[in-house]
Structure 1
């Protein structure tokens, strides 16, 4: 009976230790995985979480997109971006709408912002000019 309990506890421990979930970004203290710049901008940060639960933080969506060129996306469990309208709130990058507008600077100069709601992105576009993109269009642009 005792070996069964030990095996059961080990399995439970592995499942808990490898949870695939977002982790809070420690703004002002943690560096970008791609460019090593300290992450301070709560409107433009991004995060990748592998299927094994390893978290990678980025100071800007463009850093995450550049890093993805070198990684196998099938190993990723979560693609997350900060919602421009709700600074510090990570949202699903695949469902976000992206705005490239030279009137809204981002940390690495790509002028790229993410929005959880398409309507908010459209409203910001009307006030600032630029171009709206989906996740697929953004990936296509960065893989050129």
Structure 2
């Protein structure tokens, strides 16, 4: 009976520990991009994917994350995250973000792609820097072309 109790406690602990599906902080200057293998140093363009099993993949740019998506069945991904251009190091839900492609805002891989938490913030930056706005779905279609 005592052994059964111990096993039950272990199973409960593993269940709670194993189900922690959340982003992990990017160690800028040390972590490498899972797609292009460059060291992640840009604090406004980095991105991250978290699978439903809790595995985290880090990228130096949202365009690397999008290119990496071809290696996954989209049903295995829980979170797509991009750094908020206006708040360096802050990861935001890429699927709900607005993106700006502007040749006046360089990004690590040369796609000139930046993420914004709100459409209003993106429109303000677009008025200043020029470029084209995209939703997540529009951005994925743009990169498939």
Alignment coverage as a number of residue pairs: 144
CA distance, structure 2, for counterparts of residue 11 and residue 107 of structure 1: 43
- The CA RMSD measured in Å over matched residues stands at 1.1
Give 1:62 deviation, angstroms.
0.3
**CA deviation digits over 1:109-132, x for unaligned, max 9?**
000000011111000000011000
Higher helix share: 2
CA contact (8 A) 1:45 1:81 kept: yes
**CA distance in 2 between partners of 1:129 and 1:79 (Å):** 26
Give the alignment's TM-score, normalised by structure 1: 0.95
Aligned to 1:52: 53
Distance 2:40 2:106 in 1: 15
- 1:1-12 equivalent positions in 2, closer than 5 A: 1-2=1-2, 3-12=4-13
2:66 is aligned with 1:65 = yes
In 2, Cα distance between the equivalents of 1:36 and 1:110? 17
Shift of 1:23: 0.5
Specify every segment of 5 or more residues in structure 2 that has no aligned partner in the other structure, as ranges: none
Give 5+ residue unaligned stretches, structure 1.
none
- In 1: Cα distance, 2:133 partner to 2:74 partner: 23
- C-alpha distance in structure 2 between counterparts of 1:70 and 1:17, whole Å: 24
Q: CA deviation at 1:95?
A: 0.6
Relative to the length of structure 2, the TM-score reads 0.94
2:90 and 2:114 map into 1 onto residues whose CA distance is 13
1:139 aligns with 2:123: no
